[in-house]
Structure 1
Amino acid sequence: MLVSSVMVMGLCCGAMAQGTKLWSVDRYDDLAKGSSDGVAIRSDGRLEAGPATSLLYTTGGSYVWSVAVDAAGDGYAGLGGTTSGSAVVMKIAPDGKAAKVFEGTEFGVQALRVLADGSVLAATSPDGKMYRVSADGGAATVLFDPATTEEKPKYLWDVATIGDNVFVATGAPAVVYRVPKGGGKAEVLFRTTDQHIRCLLATADGMLWAGSDGSGVIYRIATMQPGAKPFAVYAATKREITALAADAAGNIYAAGVGAKGASSLPPLPVTGNVGVSITFVQAGSAAAASTNTVVPDGSEIYKIAADGAPSKLLALKDDVVYALAVRNGALLAATGNRGRVYRVDTAMPGRFTDVAHLEATEGMAFAAVKDGLLVATSNSGKVFKMRDRVTSPAIYTSAVFDAQAFSQWGRAEVRSSSPAAFDLYARSGNVESPLMGWSEWMKVAPDAASVGVPAARFVQWKAVLREGATVDSVGLNYLQANAAPVVDEIVVQPGARVAATVGAQANTTVQVSFVAPTASSVPMFNVTPDTGPLAAQKDKTAMTVRWSAHDDNGDDLVYAVYYKGAGEVNWRLLKDKVSDKFLSFDASLLPDGSYTLKVVASDAPVHTDAMALTGDKVSEEFVVDTTPPVPGALVAEMQGNKIHARLEARDATSPIAHAEYSVDAGPWQYVEPAGKISDSLTEQYDFLAEISHVTGSVTDTKEHVIAVRVYDRYENVVAVKAVVRQ
């Protein structure tokens, strides 16, 4: 597994953010985020010189669907677009000069094949034909017209030749036709109930291989044997077989894309009698290339061994494989929508090398030339030449790394089996874009104590590889400038108590986990603090203060809490060395009155006393009130059948909140103050209380007891009583 990672040099219990850190890049996913000029990136994270790739021809349009090469080394590119009349074949000389040799009324040239006499077969789509373009530049002739067949297929997808016959793969419906090279009536070689026959492959033994869209089936048919029938060699786990290739040992390779099941594409209009009732849709890979989108569930590459045994070589989540080719014993795959060419390891499933990043979105087709391959691309429409020799020098530039703070950059740690065959450079800056005032590239000397770049927040490295060079990993050591902690927020909650956390024990465990492909390579320390609720027990004798804090260096923090009364100057320590982000204390520790709290955060646990920094924040003013109101004398007398009661209550700190009375131990009844609104430190009560007689009571009904209890705003309560006689 490979990853860009930030590693702490050395382990210490709980204090993992202090000291020197290491930014190490040794994982394919993060190496792929950099830029490559001739550098190949292996799936195990190794950099090596890749094939020399250069732009041969640019069309000025969006799509090149197919490419072929004649015996003289001239290339042919089948162009297309989104409007009628875009179907064009350009002849491209080895020096890149191009001339138009064919122009049709259709949308695009889907397939090209060069015959032994130098003429070119061009299959157009949709609603197209297969043309034979003369080598001497004469007018093109129609070799196959699907409109003359009983099935009338809408799409011509691929062309292959064996002996004196041309084989045409069609779609909507899926039929393979055999057409004589010299012209003549087309005959059905075989048909399936699938949507399309997407690709063909002719091998030296006269076998024709075909891949379908819909069920993802690979067929084989011995075309040289009279009456031979197609044999389904393999049903792939993907919906559409987009490409086929063979090596000298007789192994067949296939690419499958898209999930099987109901297609999300709209149905195609179909004419003619197809013999079965089928709803046809456009091939998923072709639609993806036209719309510059991805195919759901990615691609897979399969190997069918010479003995017929199938196996899966590679799964690509974010790439659509459009073409396969075997070159010098290596299997290559052209893909979209990132314009990558991969070299697939045919002996080790899952291993591959990203050998070229094309300046286009999709790699569509391969064609072999004497010293390499032509690669056709779409979005935009170009033809590249990928040579058999490697690029020298090849340059890889890493993605920009954000250290999250102004940092000193120390020694580079490089792992390579050929350290003398490449040079390492670095540069730094304080803005994210290297184009905005960064330092110049500085060569990193082997075993130097520092990479030599100025202290800054951002850094980047590049490796210049000569032939034979490999780089397995590059790491840069750095030390962040210490930043003061920040206390973000403070909340004080009276009447709540949270149990203190038991002192944390030393952590003696280490987590060993697989790194997710999408894991960030940068530790994000300055993040929104956790603001979820903190469970507390209701306790009117307690006070709880809670805070959130962060440190841009990710340092462990310790806290101290101070208090100050209203009008006072000095802060007094309430508690220090607090590791939690809350503190519950007895409210009685503070005399009644108005206060503010100050929380001071310190990164002292991971720094020396001289280097430690602090940050603080002061709370809003709050009230401590643990003393009940002070009542005056309760005056009560009979007034008819009711009790007339009068009472004054005072509180030194908070307003009187409410009062209630009870007669003869009956239920408590709410009573309003004289002014209706209870909002003052002193409240007057003057009210009539009902007397409820209990039938059969032995109580002397000429004597009654009235009780009144008064609450302040903080639920402190006092009660008084009086005896009334008639």
Structure 2
Amino acid sequence: MKRRHAAVLWATILLASSQAWAVKTSLWTQDSPEEFLTGDVSGVTVTSEGQVLLGAAWDSVVTHLPEVSQIWSMAHDSKGRIYFGTGDQGRIYRWTKGSPPQLLWKTGSSEIMPLVIDANDDVYAGGSPGGVVYRITARGDTSRYFDTGEQAVWSLAVGKNGTVYAGTGSRGRIYRITGPGKGSVFTETRDLNVLALAWSKDGALLAGTSSKGLLLRIEPDGTNRVIYDSGAEELRAIAVLDDGSIAVGTNRGSTGSGAGAGAGAQAGGGAPGGLGIEVTPAGGKCGVSLVEPDGSARLLMAPPCEFLFSMIPGEGRSVRFTTGNPAALFRVDASRSYGLLGATESKQLLGLLRAGKETYVSAGNAAALYWLGTGFGAQGTYISEAHDLRSVASWGEARISRSGGGEVLWSSRSGFSKTPDDGWSPWSHEVPTKEFAKIESPPARFLQYRLRFRRGPGDPPVVSTVEVAYLQRNLPPSIASVTLYGPENPYFEGGPEYRPPQISQSFPNGMKVEYSLPRAGPRPVSDASAAWARGIRSASWEAADPNGDVLRYKLFIKEDKETAWKTLADDLDDRAFSWDAESFANGTYRLKLEASDAPDNPDGTAGTTERLSAPFLIDNVPPRVENLRTTSRAGSAHGRTTVTVSGIAIDADSRIARIEYSVDGGEWKQLFPDDSIFDSPEERFHFDVPDLLPGEHAITVRASDSQRNVSVGKIIAITR
């Protein structure tokens, strides 16, 4: 959902005299299919062009079937009567317009998943578990037509000669059934379940499988080949279009074909407050692909529904398909133009049936049968999601961009819970929309609007944009953390240039010497060579504003023994600051950060927040190297002497972090204290300088504290 901030001339000024409200008008904008698809629809369509318009009329024609959870499948006979199979009781019903449904048979199976009717109006149904094909003749006679011996019958198809084909699981076999009790294995699919069967334009049998998600073509002799590998777990639905192309519906998860139909169908539920649908090119849990006659295939649509259940051809090169969790009916065509045609309170829309010019949709949890009319209905309703403004807000006006005839009525309600309940305000009075509509709901954190479409002369009404202007109650910023970085954090050569790449020095005699610093790439600066960096202290912080306001920062500093805060920096817009701490005396300090949303709020209404840092040490005094002493003994070579040097490194405030020595200006060599660990402000040390030649030797000891302050001590050793 987009959240745009703008200074809008058309917004009504709300509570301008109150100091509790922000000064910046914000917009909640819906103008794309992804945004509109988060709402609930009834009798309206949401298109891939980001339009909401009147759709076909919906009517529930069958509801409240006792002990029935799902209506899985439907078929119609030559008289226009609708037959449907159900779960969890495995019943077969017949429904005629204007009459209640008639129970024809309690089969004994738990689920009647597929159901087809042949040219003689005989009804065939597949049961699971049990793998039985049932038949109800046109005269009403019932029989167990054929027992496959498999766990389940997932799909059925009737050939032109009346032969029945049954797709089964869990050995992935298709049976050809020629009469009562007469049948055999027609083909082995080399997969677990055959979930869908259909006839191609040239008369070949098509099959969709799980768990490999394959589309197979089966020739009359039973040989089969893969014509499309979906990459999904299930290829659940097949629709053959007039031009011979094949649309398929897939699921990345199982709808329950592996472990019983009811389990998958009943899992989960729709997102509260709306469909929560975001249509993406790829990556959803279910999808629709198109396989062209030349074998090429492409994804048309992948809404992130939990399951796709059924599919039928639509007008031209389009299909309609049903989904579960959320329960929705979609349309998509070969150009990837799509529309949400409807949604229900049931958790799944399971079956689709085209009966002449009419379309029927079946549902599960709760079981229902819906009639879908042709053309545009007389009226419909769109209800937005319950939009979270993140804080209490007051409303301006809504701008509705619409076209077409008829009328669109606006109303709204508001509340303080994510899901609308009795604690919300009632729906406001409906007002006709021209370009603007006044929002009459009381201030709250959540807002929901309703658009009621009514058809009139000419084209149906179309809404393409809804913008809601609001003012949030101004909330103070929040500071999550203030972090200090001192000289113990290593500096690097390269990257930001803290010192020039070349320096020069002039002497009184006119000579000038230039020094070039090494450029061997970023490397840590040694403790001893980082004198230029020892005084640098840096702080960074994480802060945010719940209203999305621009923030400004002030930084203060105080030593623990002081009583007044001193300003270190003012009017900062970055979330980091560095300063030279060498002008501060040794001691333990804290920073105080103040964040303000004043740039987006007038004087007297801005919110501020403060946060203290952890204590940190400033130490600009180097350690001392004291009590240097030497003792001598014979070296390992004739005429050589080994000298042992001992001493102590002491610092007033920091721990000693490093001790090194050099002999006669040579290379620095690191050594450890006597207790082997640098953990205190006082460290004793000793070391051997082996095999010195006779003469005078300058032995230099360098000590560094944890703040990178450095001092040097020297002792002269004379060997003979």
> Which TM-score applies when normalising by structure 1?
0.70
Partner of 2:511: none
Partner of 1:102: 105
Q: 1:323 aligns with which of 310, 322, 342?
A: 310
Q: Relative to structure 1, is the Cα distance of residues 67 and 718 closer, same or farther in structure 2, using a 3 angstrom cutoff?
A: closer
Partner of 1:408: 394
Deviation at 1:569, TM superposition (A): 2.9
**One-letter code of the match for 1:158?**
L
Unaligned runs of at least 5 residues, structure 1? 12-16, 222-228, 267-281, 503-534
Deviation at 1:146, TM superposition (A): 5.1
8 Å Cα contact 2:360/2:371 also seen in 1: yes
Partner of 1:53: 59
Deviation at 1:476, TM superposition (A): 0.9
Q: 1:75 aligns with which of 68, 71, 82?
A: 82
Q: 1:470 aligns with which of 433, 445, 462?
A: 462
Q: Does 1:90 align with 2:93?
A: yes
Output the CA distance in 2 between the equivalents of 1:237 and 1:710.
71
Deviation at 1:652, TM superposition (A): 6.3
Deviation at 1:198, TM superposition (A): 5.3
Deviation at 1:544, TM superposition (A): 2.2
Q: Matched residue of 1:588: which SS?
A: helix
Deviations 1:330-358 (A, max 9, x none): 8432333532222334xx52112221213
8 Å Cα contact 1:558/1:603 also seen in 2: yes
Partner of 1:557: 551
8 Å Cα contact 1:67/1:78 also seen in 2: yes
Q: 1:618 aligns with which of 586, 602, 612?
A: 612
Output the CA distance in 1 between the equivalents of 2:592 and 2:706.
24
**One-letter code of the match for 1:133?**
I
Deviation at 1:717, TM superposition (A): 4.6
Q: Does 1:542 align with 2:575?
A: no
Output the CA distance in 2 between the equivalents of 1:600 and 1:145.
79
Output the CA distance in 2 between the equivalents of 1:636 and 1:718.
17
Q: Relative to structure 1, is the Cα distance of residues 501 and 606 closer, same or farther in structure 2, using a 3 angstrom cutoff?
A: farther
Q: After superposition, where does 1:450-599 map in structure 2 within 5 Å? A: 450-467=438-455, 468-495=460-487, 539-599=533-593
Q: Relative to structure 1, is the Cα distance of residues 457 and 93 closer, same or farther in structure 2, using a 3 angstrom cutoff?
A: same
Deviation at 1:426, TM superposition (A): 1.8
Deviation at 1:216, TM superposition (A): 0.9
8 Å Cα contact 1:636/1:724 also seen in 2: no
Q: Relative to structure 1, is the Cα distance of residues 360 and 457 closer, same or farther in structure 2, using a 3 angstrom cutoff?
A: closer
Output the CA distance in 1 between the equivalents of 2:336 and 2:328.
17
Output the CA distance in 2 between the equivalents of 1:487 and 1:407.
23
Q: After superposition, where does 1:239-278 map in structure 2 within 5 Å? A: 242-243=236-237, 250-251=242-243, 254-258=246-250
Output the CA distance in 2 between the equivalents of 1:74 and 1:668.
96
Q: Relative to structure 1, is the Cα distance of residues 302 and 186 closer, same or farther in structure 2, using a 3 angstrom cutoff?
A: farther
Q: Relative to structure 1, is the Cα distance of residues 284 and 235 closer, same or farther in structure 2, using a 3 angstrom cutoff?
A: farther
Deviation at 1:463, TM superposition (A): 0.8
Q: Relative to structure 1, is the Cα distance of residues 333 and 688 closer, same or farther in structure 2, using a 3 angstrom cutoff?
A: closer
Output the CA distance in 1 between the equivalents of 2:496 and 2:665.
44
Q: Relative to structure 1, is the Cα distance of residues 245 and 231 closer, same or farther in structure 2, using a 3 angstrom cutoff?
A: farther
Please, which moves more after superposition, 604-613 or 48-57? 604-613
Partner of 2:158: 160
Output the CA distance in 1 between the equivalents of 2:59 and 2:46.
15
Deviation at 1:402, TM superposition (A): 1.6
8 Å Cα contact 1:211/1:243 also seen in 2: no
Deviations 1:580-625 (A, max 9, x none): 3222222222123333222222334444555544322223333322
Q: 1:694 aligns with which of 692, 697, 704?
A: 692
Q: Relative to structure 1, is the Cα distance of residues 437 and 157 closer, same or farther in structure 2, using a 3 angstrom cutoff?
A: closer
**One-letter code of the match for 1:167?**
V
8 Å Cα contact 1:113/1:159 also seen in 2: yes
Deviations 1:9-54 (A, max 9, x none): 279xxxxx99333211122233222222332222222222232131
Q: Matched residue of 1:29: which SS?
A: helix
**One-letter code of the match for 1:351?**
S
Partner of 1:532: none
Output the CA distance in 2 between the equivalents of 1:108 and 1:637.
97
Output the CA distance in 1 between the equivalents of 2:207 and 2:81.
31
Percent of residue pairs identical: 23
8 Å Cα contact 1:169/1:199 also seen in 2: no
Output the CA distance in 2 between the equivalents of 1:131 and 1:118.
14
8 Å Cα contact 1:161/1:167 also seen in 2: yes
Q: After superposition, where does 1:274-289 map in structure 2 within 5 Å? A: none
**One-letter code of the match for 1:462?**
R
Deviation at 1:75, TM superposition (A): 2.9
Q: Does 1:213 align with 2:208?
A: yes
Q: Does 1:602 align with 2:588?
A: no
**One-letter code of the match for 1:562?**
F
Q: Matched residue of 1:416: which SS?
A: strand
Partner of 1:269: none
**One-letter code of the match for 2:330?**
Y
Partner of 1:34: 39
Deviation at 1:286, TM superposition (A): 6.5
Partner of 2:500: none
Output the CA distance in 1 between the equivalents of 2:240 and 2:673.
96
Deviation at 1:567, TM superposition (A): 3.3
**One-letter code of the match for 2:4?**
M
Q: Matched residue of 1:33: which SS?
A: coil
Partner of 2:279: none
> Which TM-score applies when normalising by structure 2?
0.70
8 Å Cα contact 1:242/1:255 also seen in 2: no
Deviation at 1:397, TM superposition (A): 1.0
Q: Matched residue of 1:490: which SS?
A: strand
Q: After superposition, where does 1:309-388 map in structure 2 within 5 Å? A: 314-319=300-305, 320-325=307-312, 331-345=319-333, 349-368=335-354, 372-388=358-374
Q: Matched residue of 2:474: which SS?
A: coil
8 Å Cα contact 2:703/2:711 also seen in 1: yes
8 Å Cα contact 1:636/1:643 also seen in 2: no
Deviation at 1:475, TM superposition (A): 1.5
Q: Does 1:627 align with 2:621?
A: yes
Q: Does 1:9 align with 2:6?
A: yes
8 Å Cα contact 2:268/2:325 also seen in 1: yes
